[in-house]
Structure 1
Amino acid sequence: MNKSKKYGWISVALLVLSVVFIVISLSTRTPADTESSAKKAERVLASRLDILQSFTDKALAADPAEWLDIGRLPSDMVIYRYVDERLQSWVNRFPISNDQLSSGMLFQSFLNPRSALRTPLGELKEDFSFSNIGSKWYLAKKVIQENVTLIVGLEIVNTLDTRSFSGINPRLRIPENHSIQELTNSGGSPVFVGGQPQFKILYNSLSSTPPVSMPYLWLALAFFLTAALFFLLAEPSAKNLIIELITVLAVLLAFYFSGAKVSVNSGLFSPLLYADGTVLYSLGALILLTLMLVMPIWSIFIARKDLRSFLDRYPLGVFRVLLLLAAAVALVAFSYVAIKSISLNSNINLELYKIKEITWVSVLVYLLLGVLFSCIPMIFTMLQPLTSRLFGFHQDSMSIPNRIGFALAVAIYFVSLTACLGFKKEQSGMEVWANRLAVSRDIGLEMQLRLVEEKIADDPVIASLSVLPNAGAAIRNRIADNYLARVAQEYDLIVSVDGQMDLSLLSGGEYISPGSRFVFKEGSDALVVYIAVFTYYVKNYGPYHIMLQVERKGDWRFRGYASILGETAPGEVLIPPTYAYARYQSRSLLSFRGNFAYPVHMDDELADAVYSKEDTHMKSGGFTHFIYVVAEDESVIVSRRTIAALYYAVSGIFIGLITFLAQTILRPRRRKSVFEKKYFTTRLNAVIMASLILALVSMAALSVYFVYDRHEENRRTLMTEKINSIASSISTRIRGARTTDDLRSNEVLRLIEDVGNNTNSDITLYTPNGMVFMSTAPMVFERNMMDSRMDGEAYRNIMLLTSRYYIQKESVAQNKFYSMYAPLVGEDGNIIAIICAPYTDDTYDFETNVVNHGISILSIFIFLLLFAILMTRRVLDGMFLPLLQIGRKMEDANLDSLEYIQYDKEDEISSLVNAYNRMVTDLSESSRQLAEAERDKAWSGMARQVAHEIKNPLTPMKLQIQRIMRLKDRGDSAWKEKFDEVSKMLLDHINILTETANEFSTFAKLYTEEPTEINIGELVQEELAMFSGHEDITFDYMGLDDAVVMAPKPQLARVFVNLINNAVQALDEFDGGRVMVSLRHSVKDGYYDIVFEDNGPGVLPENTDKLFTPNFTTKTGGSGLGLAISRSILQKCGASISYSKSFALGGACFTILYPKNK
């Protein structure tokens, strides 16, 4: 199968795939078809429940006295095992704070005394039911076997899951525009499990899900565009180019305008992902506009040869050059607009050195830009023949230097542009942070203080306590328990009574509102403080005063669960730990945060730099500082480490390498001969390249692994030291505690808060049964953001294996972190609690740095690898050049073109070169002798041929003359009658002798004439005009008028005359004869086809192989040398001639394949 047919079938197959994906995209989004979704969910649930049942069987078969070990249970399944109604083992966890089976074992949560006394697991039955357990809905049931009870559940809905609109378990494969509700809801379709309805699937009419599946539709578009390109590859003509472009642009425009009408949650068309006006209304629109630019250039590039042959007829060369250059400039301009728009109007990161912010969308944008820039080499490839013809400028756009230059230009362009735009975007973000940092007051807290202020002032218990000495702690507990319970989790409450109050703290404060007792102040350490003085009139004692300080706890935002979950208090600014900031009042440091040593007092130079302009930036101390003046005498400085030039260089190297490799892979290649494919240098290059790649990649991998392993080891050491320090600090301050109940007090809560502040950690205490009962971050448990029961594997290691500490990686809301566990041992040596603290002390993102390190090493190594390969190839080519020359010259060698090899070195190859040169000398001498012998033989044969050709007509001529002479001698009067007949016969034979002499004369003059530049079309028409006297024959010419070739004109004219004359002679006995000569571009690149056809009898099949053999002829007269000489002339011109049956006229058809003038 030829390429044309192959590409045609590929095009059809891709088009069929496109249609299939369109059908799939429509069938997967049937808005109100909840019935089919329910049936599908039943099948999926049956499969999932079978898996759960297999684990349930393992749990029932396990020894109830041992910890449950059933293998890796899927994360959406939970198994609890109870022995005698006591929870003994668990795999995964239910999000509830009470997992007992009966209410008799309940206790009120210390975290939330007002929690309901409910046992959701005890309400389950022995058949699956759709049950609400905490923040999730499960298909759950109870399995009882003797004294063992299993609670098993399969997660159906997670109400806290923000990854989807409905929170449905993604493993159930229910469409996003559907939701799951209880059976009591109207509408929808029920889902049956075990023959019983469990829940309903409803169509969510409020969801913004598009009516079609966009991923499948994009795949359909991709297959369609690829099919269009293969359609053009099958037959790259100007006609097919127009058809393809009209179709493609129509589809893209339809897709573009329909995309503006789809819903918000429609993938690439979502304006939430990216939007910039009505034209670039989404990332999908940008992709389609890019394809509208790319597809015409790709298509024109494919059909460039046929298009060039058409356009070459018109003198528009300079205009075409300018048009192509304008297209290249337009592509670069469009890329600039696209990069700028994406960088400034979306959260899509295009700065490759910020690895952590790279997403699949970033990769998609870079692929899109790569497709766009792939058009530029194509444009310069199409420019080559024009610049060569118009300006004499010859340049291969895909040569190695040009590929390197283009890759370098692309790398510099992308890195510099994305860096500048990224910095501009960062400045805008810094400005927002600065404005928010300038406002330090907590409005939510102030509202709470205003609500409880009068209640505290009227509290009789506090009034009574105020007269007692050292009553500050008791009053603080009263206020915390009754009025500011939530506030006490985020703020320290400090109470001072008469004689202990420092009224100077009130100076410089600002009342939060008129008539309020509370004064707002901001400490020098950036901590917010609210202070109030309450006066109580106590009977028999008089007035007494207390001072209440509500002070923000230090570093709570950057530690523990808040930093993991990204939680902040209302009005607070969560700044990544890679940034630092400082607030200055005039020149004095007001507050700061982070790892940069800001000056306490600005010097003149710094103050001038800060306050001379409103917004600016500067670099110092390895940091980049963004400076914002937020008031006349107040400024905010946000700082981060300056990005090293190495990261820019590595990004450029990476982009350059990808560009260079893409050009190398996609560039056209000449087909290598079998000899070249088996070159020794090719194999040696391959071995060296494979060895270098293996060595360099191994070094890079080992380097990254070593750095990562060393960091993990160091981090584990730090975590070990930290959990031991926390456990030791708590243990030393709870001496005398014997049971868990001894820890249920506010004093212990304040103790762990104090330890947490000192160690910069959140601390959680679990009971010996694994249930949380105290934490410095209770909100994350009350909101079910963290499970109230500790991890089962950690519990097993601490309680059953009695490990002194245990560290493991856990995840919450797709955030991974390390949790540290340690036992808290009571006075009698029993474990009375389990300590847990998340590790959040990493001062920098090590994983990102490891990735940066790995990419940097690999990029540099690949760059060095390419350099090494180029150098290796150059050295090997120099070493093996003589061998290559020997091989090529031996492959192309003939007795007329034996060449010597110049090699001046004395090494192992020189002996081979010398032997080859000696062989050439010997062969040259042998060929000279052979040529002389062949010439002698040829002249001998020529003489015999000439004698034969002359002798043949002379014999009958002699006999006829002798016959007339005998008749005359006898006086026979008949000799006069025979004289005219003999004279005619003699003249005919003389003509034959003349023609024979002319043929040999032509043969003798072969190869002596120099080729000249001639217009082959004009020559054919001139020769046809010579035969115009044959009125009974029609002569036609069709073809090109500007076909120029190099040829010896007299000899090529003789070839044409010979072929035309043969056709005329074949039509002598035919009426309505026709001879047609055609001149066209050959299917073989770089050649013309010259076709001679007639409607005569043609050549018999058995004679076709003898046509070009000397002395063979089918005519009654002639030497049989015409076609043989014609083929010899053409071969010397680099052309060829062949015979076939004419399909158009039915007679003979001779086709000459003649090379074009380069």
Structure 2
Amino acid sequence: MFKRYPYKGWLLISILLWCVAGYRYYAKNNEVTPVKMARSVERNLQDEQQEFQQAVLESKLVDKIFANQLSPQEVEDLTDLSFYIYAYRDDGLIFWNSNEMLADCSEGHYTSGVLLNTDKGSFLKQCVSIAPNKKITILYPIVIKYPFENNYLKSHFEAEDYIPVNTTVGIKKEAGSIAVKDISNKVVFYLNFSKTNLPVWIPGRILIWILGLALLSTIFWVQLITIHVTRKRSITIGFLLTIIAVIGIRALTYVYGLPFNLGNMPIFSPLLYASSSFLPSLGDLLINSLCFLWIVVFAVRNVQSEYFEKLKIATWLKIVVAILIAVAMVWHTLSFSDVIRSIVLDSRISFDVSHFYSITFYTLVGITTIAIVVLSSCLFIYILNILLSGILGNRLLKYAMLVVVGLTIIFVTTHTLTATLPLVMLGWLLLVTIFLDIKMLVKVTDLFSWQTVFWAVFVCICCTIYLQHFVEVKEVDTRKNFAEQIVKQRDYLTEFTFKNTSASIQNDAVIKNFLQSPTPERRRTINERFDALYLGGQLNKYQSKVLLYNAKGQALYNNDTAKLAGFEFEKLSAEPTADSTLYYRGYTEDGHYYLAAIPVFQDSSAEKLQGYAVIDLAIKEGETETVYPELLQPGSIKNMNDEAGYSYAVYVNNKLITQTADYSFPVHLNYSIPQPHTIYDWENSSELLHKVDDTKTVFVIRYNKMWLESITLFSYLFGILMLIVFAVVLYRVSISYFSKPKHSGRFINLTLRNRIQFSMLAIVLISFMIIGAVTILYFSYQYRQSSTKSLQRTMQIVQRTIQQYLNDHDGLSNEKEFNYQTNTAGFKYMIAGLANTQKVDINVYKNSGILSVTSQENIYDKFLLARIIKPDAYYQLDSFNKSLVTQNEKIGRLSYLSGYVPVYDGEGKTLGYINVPYFSSQKELNYQISNIVVALINLFAIIFLVSSLLTVFITRWLTRTLSVVISRFEKLSLSKNERIEWQHDDEIGALVKEYNKMVNKVEESAILLAQNERETAWREMAKQVAHEIKNPLTPMKLNIQYLQQALSSGYANVNELAAKVSESLIEQIDNLSYIASEFSNFAKLPEAKPEVIELNEVLSKAVELYLNEENVKVIFNDHPTKLKVYADKSQLVRVLANILGNAVQAIPDERTGMVTVSLQKQEYSALIIFSDNGNGIDEEIVEKIFQPYFTTKTSGTGLGLAMTKKIIEFWKGKIWFETQKDKGTTFYIQLPLEQE
């Protein structure tokens, strides 16, 4: 079923898998309909309500919450719930399980729940009264929304991520809306889906795996069919069938698109990569590469140059074909190199593999695609080189033709002969062709041979150099764009975040009061307020100057004489930004890039103007920032400072204006820049000088990591290429196992040498994986410990500073005074300065857990967190009286380390809490682990490469002694044998000793066996001779007796009778002579005269003898190449004639005979197949076919097939047959090919 044509088992498996894939696609695709999405939301809501009933209400947790008796594990379990719980006693909050939201029951009791729409999203709010003074509020998230999205913040429905976020959640039923019910089957809200924005289901991992297995089984079945057709018909038909299957199916996907919504996957998006209509995406390129690899691997297994050497065509036609092949080789080389160039330059894929965490899924897919393209292209060049060598025969002529054709194509396509990259690729093609003509390099015996390692290393080195070149080209383009952006010093993130800043300033009552009644004392307070509340965070990177004016434009105690009219004039030439009050001044030469003129009105009606707050922002020297800006940065805005590895400086009139602090830039540029972009490459860095105009210049530095990047890229390419080669070999082994007519039954046969090599490499791989995993785990543990200690040291500094400030301002006397002091502008200013100095963010909470002051207001202004402490940390500090808590926390998808310490009064009573989140901890850990992983990958690639070479030589050294023993075993016979001498007392020595003992016993037994065999043979021969001679003697005796009787009785026609009797006697005597000759031939074959024989010619002549046979058609399927064996030609002719004669005679007279003779080449042997449509062989006599004296004919000695088997086996061959009753018989003869 799986190993016989038409391989129905594989067809059934593929059909079954396609059906399973279709069913899952249908089921999952229906889940994105509005009704199914609404049911998902309803089911998620009811599950959460059920979980609340079971986990909280029906357990004793409610009593423990209000009794403040929760254990740490119970607190952790409650904080892990997907919904929010708030417990109130006497309207005071005493417990909460999340700091993402706050909710109360001030609007009454909603036991069944009410919809709550907030800036954070939509929730179902439910209030449960436990006792008259005890209430629990539950918020069940329906949809979580953020004001912007990035890598850390993703708006989503709680039920499923694929539900559109713009779906309306309301309490009113509208046309097309779908009701959602709670656990009591009551409608609580409605979902209204936008018909123009319904999601398209994208296949998940399970469907991808099912589709992969279905496709693989289908390919497997098609491959088995093509191999069968190749063997039974011809290579040409099999090759055409493969091409038709591959190109036909692929053409259908181009016309009708990929099935199962595969085209909607990101890998098939043209935004990721697109080159042409033929290669519209990275996924299409990967599929096309795999299809091409399939065709090429099939061709490699079957194409032989000898076929083209025998072509009987005119010389001029051979030259034309040779030129076409040379054109194909050059054109394909230039084309596949252009594909590699396109993957790097025309895609958004990053090939910077020097940082492990910057490697994405698409980076690996891109490198894999490149590896497949290179592998299939090299195999294709290998095939074309075979064809070209077969036609031309002369290597120098071939090289000259490639050079001439290559230069011609380069000139036609580029109109020059100095194009560097095409000339480099032509030189590479010439080098590969020369290597392919070296038989030692082409003769790849197995996967572990040194030739395999050589080709893998050679291809990967060439590919790495070529790929790294375009990576550098792309990096230079990126750096040029970076320079053009940096010269503007435009900060889109600042522009985005300034919206909230300007709105807060306009609504600040303290500022309004100052504008109404300005005094010098109030002005100092206002300055502190600006520094504390509005000029931190993202604006901290600027040197800020705040100027205040009344409605008439008069300055209010400013430290500058600038007039409001001057700023109004500057606004006219500045560019407006996302905020209407902020302007960008790109023309400035002094670093003052932003100007904000914020009008302040008396009330929200914006009718009565009170004055203006003007903020002048000048860029500071570049500083390291916390990750908050990255968290608060919309995904549509790319921060230029996130470009890893770049340092920059801006010069105006050759004078340094601004720079990053991690490079020593010259204060003055003392040399001219001849071009707009000038690059200087040094040993450790690459300098790009971008000249904007006659006054402005940007200096961008990239630290050189070319060697690291090249080695890492080589490691990835080498590893992926070896995996692809291993997969191809495994696929070929699987195909061979299921397609061979007669197989040993084992899936794969590994020699001792292969097993040793495989074991050594496996040990290296496993050991390195274990060492790498342990190293990373240990380093992560040590880094977390170090981060925790660093955080604790920072917290001690922060704690001492804050306590010192509060102590100086009497803020530690009692809780009331603490709450007052922490809410003053002076304290906020101190916190902002302390956070800036320590490069951390600081939060100070009241004793109740409510946020008092923070150095980053944006987190709370944008509703990422509620102004309340993390519940699990608060519970440990308040209930378990811990003096220090460090734990891992998350905001969206951002994980970070956070520390808490309490603030005590003089009597040890807790007044509040200080929190320091260490946001960069995970990012820095990932960076450090990235360096370790990259180093391990490079080290492993080198060790694996060295190990591969060492295993080749070590296994040869280990098996060399075994080869001596094997050679002696091969020469072992019953006659005199040579002993083996071994000087070492080891396992091989023990084997040699046993071998020598066996030789002695064999020689002793051979003498006795020969004697017994001679006696037995003579007895058998005498018995058989007697039987065979007795058969013709009986009729001879009867004829003579009959003649004697006729003579004695005077028979009238005695002369005629005597003549008949004489004729009969002569016939019987001839028969006896024939019998004697046959026995003589069987007993002792004539002396063999071995020679190298062309099987094609011998078979062709043998078939010619039967071409004129009546009622029988004999067909000969010759192999296109010459197959040579080493044997006795006369004996081989005898064997072929015997098998052919039997095949012809096996066909009954009433049937039109068909005998097919096929010659095929296997790996190291030739296979001759004789097929007839005769009666077949009965099962009961199948085992006797090759026994001497057995025959199914009415005449003959039964020695033909026995003698045939003896001859074939004498020449190290095999003979077997397959038969079907009334359908025919197929005989197989396998002979070893003569190795050149």
Shorter-chain TM band: 0.7 to 0.9
Question: 1:207: which partner in 2?
Answer: 197
Summarize the Cα distance change of 1:578–1:819 in structure 2 as closer, same or farther, 3 Å threshold: farther
Matched residue of 1:788: which SS? coil
Match of 1:13 in 2: 13
Q: Aligned pair in 2 of structure 1 residues 256, 862: CA closer, same or farther (>3 Å)?
A: same
Structure 1 match to 2:473? 424
What is the CA deviation profile of residues 975-1013 of structure 1, one whole-angstrom value per residue up to 9, with x for unaligned ones? 656533432233223222332343245346614142452
CA contact (8 A) 1:764 1:772 kept: yes
Instruction: Give how far 1:4 is off.
Output: 4.1
Alpha-carbon distance in 2 for matches of 1:170, 1:1074: 76
Cα distance in 1 for partners of 2:532, 2:1131 equals: 117
Matched ranges for 1:828-839 at <5 A = 830-839=909-918
Q: Which among 60, 63, 79 is matched to residue 62 of structure 2?
A: 60
Identity value in percent: 20
Structure 1 pair 313–1071 and aligned structure 2 pair: CA distance change class (3 A): same
Which position in structure 2 is the counterpart of 1:535? none
How big is the shift at 1:790?
1.9
| Structure 1 residues 195 and 941: CA distance shift in structure 2, 3 A | closer
Q: Could you say what secondary structure the match of 1:733 adopts?
A: helix
Q: Deviations over 1:446-499 (max 9, x none)?
A: 99999999x99x999779856x6x775157479999999999987645679999
Alignment of 1:470-481 (within 5 A): 473=524, 476=527
Corresponding residue of 1:657: 719
1:582 counterpart residue number: 649
Between structure 1 and structure 2, the one with the greater Rg is: 1
Task: Determine the C-alpha separation between the residues in 1 that align with 2:258 and 2:1079.
Answer: 81
Distance of aligned partners of 1:729 and 1:373 in 2 relative to their CA distance in 1, 3 Å threshold: same
Indicate the residue corresponding to 1:512 in structure 2: 570
Q: Does 1:226 align with 2:216?
A: yes
Aligned: 1:268 with 2:267:
yes
Deviation at 1:740, TM superposition (A): 0.2
Partner residue of 2:1081 out of 1002, 1011, 1018: 1002
Please name the residue that 1:35 is paired with: 35
* 1:729 corresponds to which of 798, 801, 813: 801
Of residues 616, 619, 622 in structure 1, which corresponds to 2:678?
Answer: 616
Correspondent of 1:396 among 437, 443, 448: 443
1:182 shift after superposition: 0.5
Alignment of 1:255 onto 2:302 = no
Kindly indicate whether residue 95 of structure 2 is the aligned counterpart of residue 89 of structure 1. yes
Query: What SS does the corresponding residue of 2:714 show, helix, strand or coil?
Result: helix
Indicate the SS of the match to 1:558.
coil
Q: Does residue 1020 of the first structure (1) align with residue 1102 of the second (2)?
A: yes
The SS at the match of 2:143 is strand
CA contact (8 A) 2:305 2:387 kept: no
User: What residue identity is the alignment partner of 2:171?
Assistant: L
Aligned residue among 622, 635, 648 for 2:710:
648
Distance 1:322 1:290, change over 3 A: farther
Alignment-derived partner of residue 118 in structure 1: none
Moved more, 786-795 or 489-498: 489-498
2:39 aligned partner, one-letter code:
K
Select the residue among 59, 74, 85 that pairs with 1:79.
Answer: 85
Q: 1:348 to 1:1102 in 2, by over 3 A?
A: closer
2:367 counterpart residue number: 366
| Matched residue SS, 2:790 | helix
Q: Does 2:185 match 1:179?
A: no
State the shift of 1:616 in Å.
Answer: 2.6
SS at match of 2:195: coil
Q: Which segments of 5 or more consecutive residues in structure 1 lack a partner in the other structure? A: 103-121, 533-545
Q: Distance in 1 between matches of 2:1193 and 2:536?
A: 122
- Determine the C-alpha separation between the residues in 2 that align with 1:170 and 1:498: 52
Counterpart for residue 875 of structure 2: 796
2:136 counterpart residue number: 150
Bigger RCO of structures 1 and 2 (CA < 8 A, at least 6 apart)? 2
Structure 1 residue 570: deviation in Å?
Answer: 10
Alignment of 1:313-332 (within 5 A): none
Partner SS, residue 53 of structure 1: helix
Deviations 1:942-964 (A, max 9, x none): 57866776677568757866886
Provide the rounded CA distance (Å) in 2 between the counterparts of 1:570 and 1:384: 52
Q: CA deviation at 1:872?
A: 5.4
8 A contact 1:166–1:179 mirrored in 2: no
* Letter of the 1:405 counterpart: F
Question: Retained in 1: the 8 A contact 2:162–2:199?
Answer: no
The residue type equivalent to 1:179 in the other structure is T
Partner SS, residue 366 of structure 2: helix
User: Structure 1 pair 662/67, CA: closer, same or farther in 2 (3 Å)?
Assistant: farther
Residue type matched to 1:986 in 2? L
Structure 2 counterpart of 1:113: none
Shift of 1:198: 2.2
TM-score by length of 2: 0.75
Shift of 1:212: 7.4
Q: Deviations over 1:16-49 (max 9, x none)?
A: 4335434544554469942333234323332233
Q: Which amino acid aligns with 1:234?
A: L
Secondary structure of the corresponding residue to residue 1061 of structure 2: helix
* 8 Å contact kept, 1:740–1:767: yes
86 and 987 in structure 1: CA distance in 2 versus 1, 3 angstrom threshold: same
User: Does the CA contact (< 8 Å) of 1:624 and 1:640 recur in 2?
Assistant: yes
Deviation for aligned residue 1:618: 3.1
Structure 1 CA distance for aligned equivalents of residues 136 and 371 of structure 2 = 57
Q: Conserved in 2, the CA contact under 8 Å of 1:763 and 1:836? A: yes
1:119: which partner in 2? Answer: none
Aligned counterparts of 1:182 and 1:835: Cα–Cα separation in 2: 40
Q: Of residues 409, 412, 431 in structure 1, which corresponds to 2:461?
A: 412
CA shift at 1:916, angstroms? 2.3
Counterpart CA distance in 2 for 1:524 and 1:1066 is 103
Name the counterpart of 1:355.
Answer: 356
Say if 1:421 and 1:826 are closer, same or farther in 2 by CA, change over 3 A. farther
Which digits, 9 at most, give the CA deviation of each residue in 1:1037-1071, with x for residues without a partner? 2223578665544444445666777799999xx97
Alignment of 1:529-548 (within 5 A): none
Aligned to 1:341: 342
- One of 1038, 1045, 1068 as aligned partner of 2:1115: 1038
Tell whether the 8 Å contact from 1:178 to 1:202 is kept in structure 2 after alignment.
no
The change in CA–CA distance for 1:424 and 1:373 in structure 2 (over 3 A counts) is: closer
Residues 1:437 and 2:513 aligned together = no
Residue 1132 (1) aligns with residue 1190 (2): no
Q: CA deviation at 1:86?
A: 1.2
| 1:183–1:190 CA contact under 8 A, matched in 2 | no
Q: Decide whether aligned partners of structure 1 residues 530 and 55 sit closer, same or farther in structure 2, where only a CA change above 3 A counts.
A: same
Instruction: Give the superposition deviation at 1:157.
Output: 0.8
CA distance in 2, matches of 1:687, 1:569: 51
| One-letter identity of the residue aligned with 1:512 | E
Give the residue type in structure 2 aligned to 1:433.
F
2:503 and 2:134 map into 1 onto residues whose CA distance is: 55
Q: Distance in 1 between matches of 2:476 and 2:706?
A: 18
Question: Structure 1: which amino acid aligns with 2:1101?
Answer: L
In structure 2, do the counterparts of structure 1 residues 1113 and 689 end up closer, same or farther at CA, with 3 Å as the change threshold?
Answer: closer
Say if 1:1123 and 1:869 are closer, same or farther in 2 by CA, change over 3 A: closer
Query: Any idea what the Cα deviations from partners look like across 1:48-69, whole Å, max 9, x if unmatched?
Result: 3322333333531425232653
Question: 1-side partners of 2:993 and 2:378: how far apart?
Answer: 45
> Is the 8 Å Cα contact of residues 260 and 281 (structure 1) preserved in structure 2?
no
Give the secondary-structure state (helix, strand or coil) at the position aligned to 1:139. strand
Superposition CA RMSD, Å:
5.6
Letter in 1 for 2:649: A
Return the alpha-carbon distance in structure 2 between the equivalents of residues 1099 and 356 of structure 1. Answer: 68
**Which runs of structure 2 are paired with 1:279-318 in the superposition (5 Å)?**
279-290=278-289, 293-294=292-293, 296-297=295-296, 304=302
Of 1140, 1152, 1155 in structure 1, the residue corresponding to residue 1231 of structure 2 is: 1155
Decide whether the 8 Å contact of 1:577 with 1:844 is kept in 2: no
Amino acid at match of 2:121: K
Q: Using a 3 Å threshold, how does the CA distance of structure 1 residues 793 and 348 change in structure 2: closer, same or farther? A: same
What residue is the counterpart of 1:720 in the other structure? 792
Aligned-partner residue type, residue 561 of structure 1: Y
**Could you say if the C-alpha distance between residues 335 and 769 of structure 1 is closer, same or farther in structure 2, counting changes exceeding 3 Å?**
farther
